[in-house]
Amino acid sequence: MQPSLNKGTLQRMDSEERFQEQPFGCLQQKQPHCCHPLEETSSRVGLHATLPWTMRSCEDGSAHLGSCGEAAAFRSREEALSTRSYPSPVSLRGADLLLDQLYGLLQCLFNIGALQRLATPCLEALEANTRNCESRQEKYFTPLMLVRAFKRLDAVYRLSSRSFAPPSRNECRNLLNLAQIFASRQRLRLLTLDGDETLYPNGENFCHEEMGRNIAQLLRKGVAVAVVTGAGYGYEAEKYAVRLGILLTIFAQERLPPKATRRFFLMGGESNYLLRLSSSLKLEPVPEELWRGYRPPIEAADCERLLDVSERSLVLLSKDLGLEGNVIRKQRAVGLVPRDDATNKVRFGCVDNKGMHKESLEEGVMRVRRDIRAAFGGDCPVPYSVFTGGCDIWVDAGNKAEGVALLQGLLKLKPEHCLHVGDQFDLVGNDLAARICSPTLWIRNPKETAAVIWELLQADSENEEESSP
Amino acid sequence: MQPSLNKGTLQRMDSEERFQEQPFGCLQQKQPHCCHPLEETSSRVGLHATLPWTMRSCEDGSAHLGSCGEAAAFRSREEALSTRSYPSPVSLRGADLLLDQLYGLLQCLFNIGALQRLATPCLEALEANTRNCESRQEKYFTPLMLVRAFKRLDAVYRLSSRSFAPPSRNECRNLLNLAQIFASRQRLRLLTLDGDETLYPNGENFCHEEMGRNIAQLLRKGVAVAVVTGAGYGYEAEKYAVRLGILLTIFAQERLPPKATRRFFLMGGESNYLLRLSSSLKLEPVPEELWRGYRPPIEAADCERLLDVSERSLVLLSKDLGLEGNVIRKQRAVGLVPRDDATNKVRFGCVDNKGMHKESLEEGVMRVRRDIRAAFGGDCPVPYSVFTGGCDIWVDAGNKAEGVALLQGLLKLKPEHCLHVGDQFDLVGNDLAARICSPTLWIRNPKETAAVIWELLQADSENEEESSP
Amino acid sequence: MQPSLNKGTLQRMDSEERFQEQPFGCLQQKQPHCCHPLEETSSRVGLHATLPWTMRSCEDGSAHLGSCGEAAAFRSREEALSTRSYPSPVSLRGADLLLDQLYGLLQCLFNIGALQRLATPCLEALEANTRNCESRQEKYFTPLMLVRAFKRLDAVYRLSSRSFAPPSRNECRNLLNLAQIFASRQRLRLLTLDGDETLYPNGENFCHEEMGRNIAQLLRKGVAVAVVTGAGYGYEAEKYAVRLGILLTIFAQERLPPKATRRFFLMGGESNYLLRLSSSLKLEPVPEELWRGYRPPIEAADCERLLDVSERSLVLLSKDLGLEGNVIRKQRAVGLVPRDDATNKVRFGCVDNKGMHKESLEEGVMRVRRDIRAAFGGDCPVPYSVFTGGCDIWVDAGNKAEGVALLQGLLKLKPEHCLHVGDQFDLVGNDLAARICSPTLWIRNPKETAAVIWELLQADSENEEESSP
Amino acid sequence: MQPSLNKGTLQRMDSEERFQEQPFGCLQQKQPHCCHPLEETSSRVGLHATLPWTMRSCEDGSAHLGSCGEAAAFRSREEALSTRSYPSPVSLRGADLLLDQLYGLLQCLFNIGALQRLATPCLEALEANTRNCESRQEKYFTPLMLVRAFKRLDAVYRLSSRSFAPPSRNECRNLLNLAQIFASRQRLRLLTLDGDETLYPNGENFCHEEMGRNIAQLLRKGVAVAVVTGAGYGYEAEKYAVRLGILLTIFAQERLPPKATRRFFLMGGESNYLLRLSSSLKLEPVPEELWRGYRPPIEAADCERLLDVSERSLVLLSKDLGLEGNVIRKQRAVGLVPRDDATNKVRFGCVDNKGMHKESLEEGVMRVRRDIRAAFGGDCPVPYSVFTGGCDIWVDAGNKAEGVALLQGLLKLKPEHCLHVGDQFDLVGNDLAARICSPTLWIRNPKETAAVIWELLQADSENEEESSP
């Protein structure tokens, strides 16, 4: 990769390219953690420079997931829970509120038989709400192109010609996703992707060839792609590579130029281990001094204490809730995982999730969070994430808000140029935290991710044809 | 088992055993369709002898799925739809109402923190409601042992020690299932099982070895087992055998006595083709004169007209709803199925169900029903079923209410000795109709069916230990 | 009253005027009850000639209050009740459904902050629904001018500039009322008014001078005005006159011409006693042979039996529900009324309604209805009405559907030229039945009635100024 | 009033009597505002000594109306409003949550037909929740005797024998009230009463003779009674006396001893003007130095600024919302009140509340609150209250939390010995704030207040008979 002598070339050469031209070392010196590139946008998005810590201390923002984060979401949630009401789905601002409004609106129009006639003007009103983010408390990093997304999906779903089956919540989720894609794909510089159930089926390895080729295409076009996963294998690159399955082979087949391969990152353990693909297609650790500076140091003792508290909590709840699994302690995580022989047992009422009952896992997640808060108060010195991956419970010393923000710091990108794709946006999931610092897409399985990535590549051509009429 | 010369031997020698001692021929003569064995229980369960036709004509019973059936459910549903409200879930009496009440009750107790203390007395009250069916309009063929089921499931789910995650609707579904199993397993004479997604994964063949052995065990113990499936291959036994996969092999390995193998039936096309397993483990057609007498004759022309109307409707909606599939006409069914190349196309928003959008399928089912009603009025001369199997829409000239009732007629069994297991109990499913003439279990996948069958075998032993304290 | 020699004078001279030109006698001969003037409109409004009996026998129309009536509403209601759900408010078609849709729509638009921009196009869609009544099952006798009503009320309520207080259900009720007034006032030939809490405060006499003058004005303009009240004093005109308070005095002051005074009617006992104001301002019975012919004869014995059953029911429930009152038997009604000393007792929890607890009265109404149905089946030979007036329960052998329809028959008017105003449109009220054969306005107190009547007089002038911009 | 020489006489001679023996002056010296008698109970009830200011600064307790107050309620409310959802009723902890739980519970038991059998054990569970207040976040000053209250009201309402009409929210409100009365009447030392619509009909004067005699009885028995009203006439005693109507006359007729008359207080302007009844039955100002010490001084300039901001806000919204009234500025309040000729105008859709549209008043209250917060931030230096009395909007520099707390300070009483009765506990009412420092009863009209006071006097006798079985 040759240095771009010509400063003002392409607009999309901006942040990431500049980053790559500089040796890491100077970055570190020039970028103490108070100079996070988000700082300049902080007034707009309500974030302070050192984002994850800000997140932990935003005392006021009970339910603002747009501006605070997991901790705040949980606190607000806890308030609801202390009244034992536990509403589902959680009423969070931003994306969740918008989903509710969209669903309510389309149902209402369907009920009066006016979806065809009125969907466009009504969605224009909602779209306007996402545009002037200043004026309202919901924060959107980009406006959402709802009208255009509706037109496109209506051609698939035939919403406006249906008369029995009303618009479903799931259709609204896809509508929001597409509206975000339309808004993001032109300006996209960083695509972050969850691993399990997003890139590959839960517990399996990447195997979707077409998606692989399209990811390569994104890299080639200058978009950085990072897997941001809870899975933490330290810096054992080989283990991560196994999960990536045929993806690296596809990159090789596609003969990606070194500049493109080096745009591929993997952040393991939520926000703990950052690796980068070398030009020889090896995952190599990014020296911590290059990116850890974007957050204040964490005391090892605090981290140990967090994991100690969590481990005790997991052991206790495993017994109390009959979640028969093993507690595993890692360097920066502790988890309750199913036993190997879990699936062999026939047990009425609990045949899925390797014998780990879903509702009990949810109860477990909430209990660990309660115990951590009880031990540390509202202001835990270590950012963390407690979630269930479907058949387990994990406590990570780190979270995806931090994981994505560190990448943004490293690559000098603002939230509006980023996009996080994941499947875990409910209360007990770990993708939710990413909403703090990035637009997000809520997908349900790797097939949907494949469709998302295909769609992201369509940007230019489709835009023209759609804007013509 | 030798023929019982002595008439009054065992109570459980009743219906099915008697049937087997008689040559089929005389049965036919003695059993014109007005003599359906259900007749004597009709006052109790609100059914008349020729059940499926009764079902079609029970004009009064708008929402009583307990006492009428698909047609009525749809009519009642249509009423709701004409107001465009389309509530989900449908408010049906009987099982669905009970599920709602159970869910509401447990949520309420959870919210006041009194689940542990009050679940038992409250469930006793609900259980009492299922016992004196006369006094209320909801019909239950058996009382439901809710208290005992709650105790058992609480040991798995720890409902009463949870404080964050309230009882879920899914847990309540399992609770109802177990309460029905406890009530049914002692008196069980006929177990009817749906095929796809109940016995085997959707579109695949039977492969669950343990479940296979347990089905063999049920047959050995004197329970008749019948697959009642929408899949209709006429009398081409081989095609059905393929779907049954390793099941017949297991029967061979288990060395089932001929008497036991002959207790295994398969009803194809909902209620159109009845086959029986021979002692040499071959599926053989049961002569139609032996069981078709339990319903009045259907004119071939009526059937053709039904399928003509439906085919036109399917062709139209395929176009109008963008459901790109092929319309297939069979002898007694017509369906809209996905094209072979359906899965290859990436299409944002519609990546599952082989490209057949779920909500569009639901809309399609409702439209076909509307068109049939428009053509025949409320009183179609052919019993039928319109449903979606997940990625298709089928119209069958026949339905599971009829399918189960014909078996009951053939085997001379009352509903309380039967049990139907299926996964399609929502408004657009075909198992719903079976509720008219049988207790039912609503399962979600073959693993749950396996657990159900294992549980049905536990009858004797467990009962003792549980009743001791 | 001089015969109008000039046949084709005014359009509004139509029905009522023609009626007045004919001697009553011949009417009777020419109008057997199969020739009810509604007949010609029956296909449009789903009514048969002999309306009240049709109402009793419309077996299919469970929840269609637009096309059937009290009996059907109760049956549908009972179905709901047998499941013990008792939703409130009752989900009835027509006006109630529209109220729900309107409320849902405006709330939804308010929530997305787009009420100002989108109220008009959305209400246009709803208004269109009321126009093409054929295409849907809801029946409206006239289209409802929702857009115009919204504009007018928005100027009062400032709905579209509010940002905290969303549109309320009460505002939507007024909106529907005004939309109906705009639709009706140009074509109005018959205004029927409930008595208690509509014309005068509950139990008191008419005292609203301005409303009195405006009623006189309506009469003068050619609109027939009829009080249709549950209160039944036989033909004791003096007792009715007491309730009318200063109204007749005002008529005298206003020097109404005889033609106008004779347009004033009073139907007592729901549909049992018809009186007419003479030119000397006396209420005089209208000979029964002139209007009773519009319904088939009722056997006195049936009526007695209805009242016997009801009386027994009232006595029983009075005891069982602790409603300490007196049972009063009249010629065509039986009621449970509070004792004279009722108000003197301080009783915690029950200080209003003269000691008759509201919810117990509602329970009582439903019990009497159940007992009547149990005694007569779904097809009682006597039209009836069971309702609570606020502190009592009454069973009348007659109802307001019949009361209004008899007037329509006598005056030869179609529903679209009529309007019924009342305060009792909930499930236990007696105005609800009037919806079967007339557009209705749901008001809450005599002040609202006064505003309605004032508004009805504004027809011409206002219309111009409003249509100009 | 003679000094009580005998120190240890009666237990009920405690706080108030002791206070009366001391000259006011020394009180002031011994009681700087940090020594508020609430202080010792503060850990239990979550209140700090200087209550009203605490209230303003309880940053954490967004929705805890039990522990914070109007300001917090409004803030929490605002959060909801900023999302434009405006749920109604507001989800507040404590009494409102309990009302919701109670209603949900009774409905649920009714629906399964088990109210009779299960009401008692279920209410025992709820009652236990109110007892161990420590363990949960809801704060109750006393346990609530729900079981006993249910038994008593069931005898009136016949809830457990009803089968059509389910328990209503209104019945649950009365149930909570009675449960609080049973808990409070034995320990009652201070009864505070709202004025309009609580003691006397809105805008009228006290006229309920029986209630008057019973209030006299309470005073005689040693209970202090204070009218705590928003109405502020400074220290113009005569104006307050007019509103008290026949009450003082009744006191004279009842020949109350001086000690008893001096237990009667009136706090005007929420918490601004304290008057006391002299032994000669005159309302006399209590010197401010005796009770104002219980709160920190308010700067006159701050107060003026608050009223300036509010006045501007009222003027603006009057115009913007079409609330045609006059803005009135008082010493410590500013209000928007209807014009004198308001009632004379017929205006469709707005005939009640003297032409002030209810929803517009609610909108107005929320707007003034928003403007005050915008001007002062979350920490206004002057305690205030913005509310609507039904046909007006008032901003008072003071509120009922402060008003009740000052009386508690003066009389040295803990919250558990107090009880506040009012009709304005919804979001836009001024009684809501009293919940911060006192158990409360939510009544609907003066008749209910009369029943409450009668019930409070029954304490001793009834207790015995009820506890015997």
Q: Round the average pLDDT of chain B to a whole number and report it.
A: 79
> Looking at this protein, which amino acid is placed at residue A355?
G
Q: How far apart are CA B178 and CA B448, in angstroms?
A: 11
Nearest alpha carbon to residue C219 among C227, C207, C231, C230: C227
Q: With beta carbons less than 8 A apart as the criterion, state whether D186 and D463 touch.
A: yes
Q: Round the average pLDDT of chain C to a whole number and report it.
A: 79
Quick one: closest CA in D to C453, which residue? Answer: D348
**Exposed/middle/buried for residue B9 (C-beta within 10 Å: 0-12, 13-18, 19+):** exposed
> Of A14, A100, A154, A196, which is the active-site residue?
A196
Using the predicted structure, report yes or no on whether residue D69 has a pLDDT greater than 90: no
Q: What is the separation, in whole angstroms, between the first and last Cα of chain C?
A: 42
Q: How confident is the model at residue D4 (pLDDT cuts 50, 70, 90)?
A: very low
Q: What three-state secondary structure class fits D182?
A: helix
Question: DSSP class of residue D166?
Answer: P
**What's the pLDDT score for residue A138?**
53
**What's the pLDDT score for residue C95?**
66
Quick one: closest CA in D to C451, which residue? Answer: D348
**What's the pLDDT score for residue C34?**
27
For residue D21, the distance in angstroms to the closest alpha carbon of chain B comes to 46
Q: With beta carbons less than 8 A apart as the criterion, state whether C138 and C126 touch.
A: no
Quick one: closest CA in C to D361, which residue? Answer: C165
Q: Which residues on D lie below 8 Å from A97 (Cβ)? A: 83
B129-152: per-residue pLDDT in tens?
Answer: 888 755 444 568 899 999 999 999
* Residue D410: CA count within 13 A, CB half-sphere: 25
| Alpha-carbon distances, residue B177 vs B143, B148, B165, C238, C321 (angstroms) | 12, 12, 21, 68, 39
**What's the pLDDT score for residue B140?**
81
Q: How far apart are CA A145 and CA A179, in angstroms?
A: 4
For residue A83, the distance in angstroms to the closest alpha carbon of chain D comes to 8
Q: What are the backbone angles phi and psi of residue D390, rounded to the nearest 5°?
A: 125, -40
ipTM exceeding cut-off 0.95 for this assembly: no
Q: Which residue has the higher pLDDT, C83 or B307?
A: B307
Q: How many inter-chain contacts (A to C, CB under 8 Å) are there?
A: 46
C159-179: per-residue pLDDT in tens?
Answer: 999 999 999 999 999 999 999
Q: Tell me chain D's radius of gyration from C-alpha atoms.
A: 22
Of B60, B82, B97, the CB nearest to C83: B97
Lowest mean pLDDT among A134-148, B143-157, C429-443, D2-16: D2-16
**What's the pLDDT score for residue D130?**
85
D196 an active-site residue? yes
Using the predicted structure, report yes or no on whether residue A355 has a pLDDT greater than 80: yes
Average pLDDT over residues C289-306: 88
Q: Any residues with CB less than 8 A from the CB of D394 and at least 6 apart, and which?
A: D230, D333, D334, D335, D336, D385, D386, D387, D388, D430
Q: How confident is the model at residue D96 (pLDDT cuts 50, 70, 90)?
A: confident
Q: What DSSP line would sit under B130-197, residue for residue?
A: HH-GGGSS---SS---HHHHHHHHHHHH-GGG-SSSPPPHHHHHHHHHHHHHHHHTTT--EEEE-SBT
A148-203: per-residue pLDDT in tens?
Answer: 999 999 999 999 999 999 999 999 999 999 999 999 999 999 999 999 999 999 99
C87-111: per-residue pLDDT in tens?
Answer: 222 234 556 778 888 999 999 999 8
Residue C135 contacts B where some CB pair is shorter than 8 Å: no
Q: What are the backbone angles phi and psi of residue C352, rounded to the nearest 5°?
A: -100, -175
Q: How far apart are CA B2 and CA B20, in angstroms?
A: 11
Which of the listed ranges A1-5, B297-301, C30-34 does the model predict with the highest average pLDDT? B297-301
Of B105, B112, B125, the CB nearest to D117: B125
Quick one: closest CA in A to D82, which residue? Answer: A137
Yes or no, beta carbons of A84 and B166 under 8 Å apart: yes
Q: What DSSP line would sit under C347-389, residue for residue?
A: -TT--SGGG--HHHHHHHHHHHHHHHHHHHTT--SS--EEEE-
Q: With beta carbons less than 8 A apart as the criterion, state whether A118 and C109 touch.
A: no
Q: Which residue has the tokens 């049988």?
A: B438
Q: With beta carbons less than 8 A apart as the criterion, state whether C228 and C407 touch.
A: yes
**What's the pLDDT score for residue C294?**
79
Per-residue tokens: C424: 């009792």
**What's the pLDDT score for residue B43?**
24
Residue C101 contacts A where some CB pair is shorter than 8 Å: yes
Q: With beta carbons less than 8 A apart as the criterion, state whether A219 and A281 touch.
A: no
Using the predicted structure, report yes or no on whether residue B345 has a pLDDT greater than 70: no
Pairing of strands B333-338, B325-329: antiparallel
Q: Which residues on D lie below 8 Å from B121 (Cβ)? A: 117-118, 121
Average pLDDT over residues D225-235: 96
Average pLDDT over residues B263-292: 96
**What's the pLDDT score for residue C27?**
25
Partners of residue B193 on adjacent β-strands: B227, B421
Which of the listed ranges A434-438, C60-64, C141-145 does the model predict with the highest average pLDDT? C141-145
Identify from C351, C391, C423, C449 which residue to disrupt to test chain D contact, counting D C-beta atoms within 10 A and taking the largest count: C351
> Of D196, D396, D423, D431, which is the active-site residue?
D196
Yes or no, beta carbons of D79 and A97 under 8 Å apart: no
D110-132: per-residue pLDDT in tens?
Answer: 988 899 999 999 999 999 988 87
Q: Any residues with CB less than 8 A from the CB of B270 and at least 6 apart, and which?
A: B228, B229, B230, B232, B385, B396, B398, B399, B400, B402, B403, B430
Q: What DSSP line would sit under C235-296, residue for residue?
A: B-HHHHHHHHTTHHHHHHHTT--HHHHTTEEEEETTTTEEEEE-TTS-EEEPPHHHHGGGS-
Q: Which residues on A lie below 8 Å from C113 (Cβ)? A: 125, 129
Yes or no, beta carbons of A451 and B346 under 8 Å apart: yes
Q: How confident is the model at residue B22 (pLDDT cuts 50, 70, 90)?
A: very low
Q: Which residue has the tokens 């003569």?
A: B29
Which element (helix H / strand E) includes A111? helix A95-111
Per-residue tokens: D85: 């959802």
pTM of the model: 0.83
Using the predicted structure, report yes or no on whether residue D371 has a pLDDT greater than 90: yes
Strands (E), D366-417: 385-388, 393-396
Nearest alpha carbon to residue C420 among C267, C274, C235: C267
Nearest alpha carbon to residue B453 among B206, B237, B284, B249: B206
Q: Which residue has the higher pLDDT, A168 or A69?
A: A168
Lowest mean pLDDT among A189-193, C294-298, C389-393, D335-339: C294-298
| Alpha-carbon distances, residue C102 vs A123, A285, C95, C182, C264 (angstroms) | 19, 60, 10, 17, 35
Residue B122 contacts D where some CB pair is shorter than 8 Å: yes
> Looking at this protein, which amino acid is placed at residue D29?
Q
Quick one: closest CA in D to A378, which residue? Answer: D60
Q: How far apart are CA C324 and CA C355, in angstroms?
A: 8
**What's the pLDDT score for residue A346?**
65
Return the ∠ at Cα B90 (arms to B85 and B95), rounded to 5°: 165
> Of B96, B194, B371, B392, which is the active-site residue?
B194
Average pLDDT over residues D52-78: 28
Q: What is the separation, in whole angstroms, between the first and last Cα of chain D?
A: 42
For the four alpha carbons of C203, C209, C210 and C212, in that order, the dihedral sign comes to positive
Q: Tell me chain B's radius of gyration from C-alpha atoms.
A: 22
Per-residue tokens: C125: 């869609």
Using the predicted structure, report yes or no on whether residue D396 has a pLDDT greater than 80: yes
Using the predicted structure, report yes or no on whether residue A118 has a pLDDT greater than 60: yes
Domains of chain B listed by start with CATH number: 90-185 (no CATH), 187-291+397-459 (3.40.50.1000), 300-395 (3.30.70)
Which element (helix H / strand E) includes B267? strand B264-268
Q: What three-state secondary structure class fits D115?
A: helix
Which of the listed ranges D43-57, D91-105, D377-391 does the model predict with the highest average pLDDT? D377-391
Per-residue tokens: D119: 């009401």
Nearest alpha carbon to residue C370 among C58, C54, C82, C91: C82
For the four alpha carbons of A280, A283, A289 and A290, in that order, the dihedral sign comes to positive
Q: With beta carbons less than 8 A apart as the criterion, state whether B8 and B410 touch.
A: no
Q: How far apart are CA A326 and CA A314, in angstroms?
A: 10
Question: DSSP class of residue B402?
Answer: H
Using the predicted structure, report yes or no on whether residue A298 has a pLDDT greater than 60: yes
Chains touching A (3+ CB pairs < 8 Å)? B, C, D
> Looking at this protein, which amino acid is placed at residue B318?
S
**What's the pLDDT score for residue A95?**
66
Average pLDDT over residues A420-426: 94
**What's the pLDDT score for residue B69?**
30
Return the ∠ at Cα B358 (arms to B357 and B360), rounded to 5°: 70
Q: In what order do the strands lie in the sheet with B333-338?
A: B325-329, B333-338, B393-396, B385-388
Yes or no, beta carbons of D114 and B108 under 8 Å apart: no
For residue D19, the distance in angstroms to the closest alpha carbon of chain C comes to 33
For A230-241, give one letter per residue: b (16+ CB within 10 A) or e: bbbbebebeebb
> Looking at this protein, which amino acid is placed at residue C164?
F
> Of D96, D154, D194, D423, which is the active-site residue?
D194
Chain C 40-59, residues with CB within 8 Å of chain B CB atoms: 59
Pairing of strands C190-193, C418-422: parallel
Bin C19: left if φ > 0, else alpha if -120 < ψ < 50, else beta.
alpha
**What's the pLDDT score for residue D44?**
24
Using the predicted structure, report yes or no on whether residue B35 has a pLDDT greater than 90: no
**What's the pLDDT score for residue C82?**
30
Return the ∠ at Cα C147 (arms to C142 and C151), rounded to 5°: 130
Q: In what order do the strands lie in the sheet with C440-442?
A: C283-285, C273-277, C264-268, C224-228, C190-193, C418-422, C440-442
Nearest alpha carbon to residue D108 among D175, D169, D166: D166
Q: How far apart are CA A126 and CA C351, in angstroms?
A: 49
Using the predicted structure, report yes or no on whether residue B468 has a pLDDT greater than 90: no
Using the predicted structure, report yes or no on whether residue C375 has a pLDDT greater than 50: yes
Q: Round the average pLDDT of chain A to a whole number and report it.
A: 79
A196 an active-site residue? yes
